[in-house]
Structure 1
Amino acid sequence: MAFNFHRGAEGIVLANSHRGYSNRAPENTFPAFDAARQAGTHCIEIDIHLTADNQLVVTHDHRVDRVSTGQGFVEQLTYPQLLAFDFGVKYHPEFTGTRIPLLADVLRWAVENGMGLIVEAKQRRRHDEFVAAVVALLRRHPEAIAHIQLLGFNHVLINRVKAQLPELALQVVTLERYNNQLAAVQQSNAGCVCFEYEFAHVDDLRAYKNAGLGVRMYLHEVKEGMDPLTQYWHKFGYDSRPEILSWLREGLIDMLSHDDIPYLQALIEEAGLRWN
């Protein structure tokens, strides 16, 4: 059964856990994915890269240094080399032995558990090989296509995948306010658009929904002890909460993304809506 990412019109806003439940477990690992599921959310965002031996792995940075015991760039390392690194111990010793996931394994897990995946393409080079690997993987696991949206800042790259898999849903990121925002998104063949508060306008959100698009709002990670809405007040000088709550209540947002799942759930409930 296909996963439904867009339920704002039903009064349901999906609490989309960023890189899994990364406030409770190492980001982009199975412990974080399982923690997200156990916390009651059914939609997670992950990031993918292609290794030197053409394996699709789940991790955010181009380098592995921040999140693992290894060093180097994902695209310059083979999958066996990456398996030699621990991707959990730097987060907390209780996660010692955590390995980098293969996208294939995460897809199987999502289908088995009825989860939706926002899969962000992080690939900078070797685009031909990346596209070929993604297409081949999804053709081997066609049941997974209905559980994912392929996300990218590089709209050209993700459209190269969609050209070979027309049934694949795309999600694009907008970090500007264009003169014709809706047209810019539609030209990228997206079924969903991801935005940040800084670049948002209610007219654009309404235009997206009137055109039948899904909408995902990304809330920044906690910085210097400030949650996202406090950050916006600190940056812009006013309280963004009433505005964001009004967008939620109007059904303009289908997914709300952040690292802390209870924070998402509380905000959705404050708007008088459900998160599952």
Structure 2
Amino acid sequence: MAFNFHRAAQGVVLANSHRGYSSHYPENTLPAFLGAREAGTHCIEIDIHLTADNEFVVTHDHRIDRVSTGTGFVEQMTLVQLRQFDFGIKYHPSFAGTPIPLLKEVLRWAVSNDVGLIVEIKQRRRHDEFVQHLVTLLRSMPQALSHIQLLGFNHVLTNRVKTEIPELALQVVTLERYNNQLAAVQQSNASCVCFEYEFAHVDDLRAYKQAGLGVRMYLHEVKNGMTPLEQYQHKFGYDSRPEILGWLREGLIDMLSHDDIPYLQALIEEAGLRWA
């Protein structure tokens, strides 16, 4: 059954866990995905790279140093080399022995557990190989196509994949407010748009929904002990909560994304909506 990412009209805002339940588990690992599902979320954002031997792995950074016991660049390493390192122990010793996940493994798990995946491309080079192997993988798993939205800051690259798989849904990121915001998004063939608070305007959100697009709001990670909304108040000098709750209540947001799932769920409930 196809996964429905856009349920705002039904009073449902999906709590989208960023890199899995990454505030309580090592990010972009199977424990983080399992933890997210157990916490009640049905939608997860992940990041992918193509290895030197053309395998797709799930991790955020171009280097593995921050999240693993290894060092080096994902795109310059083989899967065998990457699987020599531990991707859990740096977060906490209880996650020792956690390997880097393969995209195909995560796709199978998502389909089996009715989870939607926002799959963000992090690839910098070897774009021809990237497109070729991703198309081959997705075509080999047709049941997974309706469970993903392919996301990227490089809209040209995401569209190269969509050209080969027209039924693939794209999500695009906007980090500015363009003169014609809706046109800029539509030119990227997106079915969903991801935005951050400081670049948002209610007129654009309404235009997205009127055009039939899905909308995802990304809330920044906790920094210096401040939640995202506290950060916005510190940065801009006013309380963003009433505005964001108003967007939610108006049905302008389909997905709310953050590292901490209970934080997301609480905001959605405060707006009088459901997250599942």
Under a length normalisation based on structure 2, what TM-score does the superposition of the two structures give? 1.00
Q: Which whole-Å deviations, capped at 9, do the CAs of 1:209-265 have from their partners, x for residues lacking one?
A: 000000000000000000000000000000000000000000000000000000000
Structure 2: how far apart are the matches of 1:26 and 1:137?
26
Structure 2: how far apart are the matches of 1:130 and 1:98?
25
User: Secondary structure at 1:69's aligned position in 2?
Assistant: coil
* Residue of structure 1 in register with 2:206 after alignment: 206
Matched AA of 1:36: A
* Residue of structure 1 in register with 2:176 after alignment: 176
User: Secondary structure at 1:17's aligned position in 2?
Assistant: strand
* Residue of structure 2 in register with 1:127 after alignment: 127
* Residue of structure 2 in register with 1:21 after alignment: 21
* Residue of structure 2 in register with 1:90 after alignment: 90
Report deviation, 1:133: 1.1
* Residue of structure 1 in register with 2:218 after alignment: 218
Structure 2: how far apart are the matches of 1:225 and 1:248?
25
- Trace 1:60-79 onto structure 2 (pairs within 5 A): 60-79=60-79
* Residue of structure 2 in register with 1:138 after alignment: 138
Matched AA of 1:146: S
User: Secondary structure at 1:109's aligned position in 2?
Assistant: helix
Count of aligned positions: 276
Q: Which whole-Å deviations, capped at 9, do the CAs of 1:165-210 have from their partners, x for residues lacking one?
A: 0000000000000000000000000000000000000000000000
Report deviation, 1:98: 0.1
Q: Which blocks of at least 5 consecutive residues in structure 1 are unaligned?
A: none
Structure 2: how far apart are the matches of 1:47 and 1:132?
18
Matched AA of 2:54: N
Structure 1: how far apart are the matches of 2:165 and 2:97?
36
Structure 2: how far apart are the matches of 1:78 and 1:88?
19
* Residue of structure 1 in register with 2:48 after alignment: 48
Matched AA of 1:179: N
Structure 2: how far apart are the matches of 1:200 and 1:23?
25
Matched AA of 1:78: T
Q: Which whole-Å deviations, capped at 9, do the CAs of 1:35-63 have from their partners, x for residues lacking one?
A: 00000000000000000111000000000
* Residue of structure 2 in register with 1:267 after alignment: 267
Matched AA of 1:81: Q
Report deviation, 1:80: 0.2
Report deviation, 1:24: 1.0
Structure 1: how far apart are the matches of 2:169 and 2:117?
11
Structure 2: how far apart are the matches of 1:226 and 1:58?
28
Q: Which blocks of at least 5 consecutive residues in structure 2 are unaligned?
A: none
Q: Show structure 1 runs of 4+ deviating over 3 A.
A: none
Structure 2: how far apart are the matches of 1:251 and 1:133?
37
Under a length normalisation based on structure 1, what TM-score does the superposition of the two structures give? 1.00
Identity in percent:
82
